[in-house]
Amino acid sequence: MNILLTGATGFLGRHIHTALLQAGHTVLPVARSRGHDFNRLQTPADWVGLLSGVDAVINAVGIIGETRYQRFDVLHTRAPQALFAAAQAAGIGRVVQISAQGADETAFSAYHLSKRAADDAVRALPQPGWVLRPGLVFGPGGGSQALFMRLARLPRIPVLGDGQQGVQPVYVGDVVSTVLACLGHTGAGQTLDLVRPEPIAFADWLQTLRRLQGLPATGFVHLPWALAHWGAALLGPLMPMARSDNLRMLRQGHRADATPWLQFWGQIPTPAQASHLVGVAPTVA
């Protein structure tokens, strides 16, 4: 198939791009570094030229924090909605939207709400597309993973509050495999939460990352939430992951049901391994 892939140079996009090529597909990568600006792709007409000869669309664009030039409403909502409308008008029946765990009816952050708005557009297509909501994605080249690995290497691991906030990590290879499975499915798409079936406490996840780096278990430094939000006000502009909304998402937690995904995918999620923590995301020329 000829597949248009947005976010092709991001962490997840690079893994998807490589897998598509290995599966024999032709990929039209759409990314800022390749001269495509989502700020200029906010109407269906803006996408028409890019969709010529395309059989399927995968939207893997995502940012964890806003900047002056990258806004949730544009990157997560308006440009993808325009893309999906243009794909529908072009008769493209296969659409895969990479969303995020928590972008459901409980969403409260600008990040999740912007993702959910695009998800709704995919579900409203004449033939509903696929909405994939991965949990915390780990694997070679992951940006958040690199941060968590550094924290896990400290003599004592800093955690917020009691560190018992539940997370449901998923291996990047499992996400990619699911994307390929969706492309091979001819019927209506589904909304699937791609998550570890049983949550793990965030503190235990950091201990897991520490162990996989060959270090013994250690103790924790428990940071008050008030201090974290004070730090977010100072560091947020420089560190998107440290912004208040992201802290609120972590503090609230979210438990998703992996059952529909596992029934569709038919495989067992990959447990974290030391080899997943090294290397970089593949690069495609």
| Sign of the alpha-carbon torsion through 223, 225, 230, 231 | positive
Domain-embedded: residue 137: yes
236 pLDDT more than 60: no
Residue 238 has pLDDT above 60, yes or no: no
- pLDDT attached to residue 251: 66
Confidence check: pLDDT of 221 > 70:
yes
For residue 186, what pLDDT is reported?
A: 84
First to last CA, the chain: 19
Which tokens is 278 given?
Answer: 């090294």
90 located within any domain: yes
219 located within any domain? yes
Classify residue 269: in a domain, yes or no.
Answer: yes
Tell me the mean pLDDT in the region 51-57.
97
Domain span including residue 170 = 2-277
Give pLDDT tens digits for 248-273: 777 677 789 999 999 999 999 999 88
Confidence check: pLDDT of 280 > 90: no
Residue 223 binned pLDDT confidence (cut-offs 50, 70, 90): confident
**Residue 282 within a domain:** no
State what percent of residues in the chain have pLDDT above 90.
71
The mean pLDDT of the chain is: 90
Task: Report the b/e string of 69-89 with b at 16+ CB within 10 A.
Answer: ebbbebbbbbbbbbbbbbbbe
Q: Kindly report which listed range (9-18, 22-31, 59-68, 122-131) carries the lowest average pLDDT score.
A: 59-68
Report the candidate in 253, 256, 252 with the shortest Cα–Cα distance to residue 269.
Answer: 256
Residue 226 pLDDT level (bands cut at 50, 70, 90): confident
Whether residue 239 is predicted with pLDDT greater than 70 in this model: the reply is no
Residue range 68-101, pLDDT digits in tens: 888 999 999 999 999 999 999 999 999 999 999 9
CATH code, 74: 3.40.50.720
Q: Tell me if 10 sits within 8 A of 76, measured CB to CB.
A: no
Contact by Cβ (8 Å): 103, 112 = yes
Using CA atoms, how far apart are residues 219 and 250, in angstroms rounded to an integer? Answer: 20
Asked if residue 283 is part of any domain, the answer here is no
Identify the pLDDT of residue 100. 96
**284, part of any domain:** no
The confidence score (pLDDT) of residue 173 equals: 96
Let me know if residue 195 belongs to a domain: yes
3-state secondary structure of 176: helix
* pLDDT band with cut points at 50, 70 and 90 for residue 245: low
Contacts of 239 (CB under 8 A, 6+ apart): none
Q: What is the pLDDT of residues 139-189, one digit of tens each?
A: 888 878 888 999 999 999 999 889 999 999 999 999 999 999 999 998 899
Closest CA to 220 of 265, 170, 163: 163
Supply 196's token pair.
């570890």
pLDDT confidence of 237, banded at 50, 70, 90?
A: low
pLDDT of residue 32: 85
Please report the pLDDT score of residue 143 as a whole number: 76
Q: What is the pLDDT of residue 227?
A: 74
Domain count, the chain: 1
- Residues 24-37 have pLDDT tens digits of 999 999 988 888 99
Mean pLDDT (whole number) for 56-76:
91
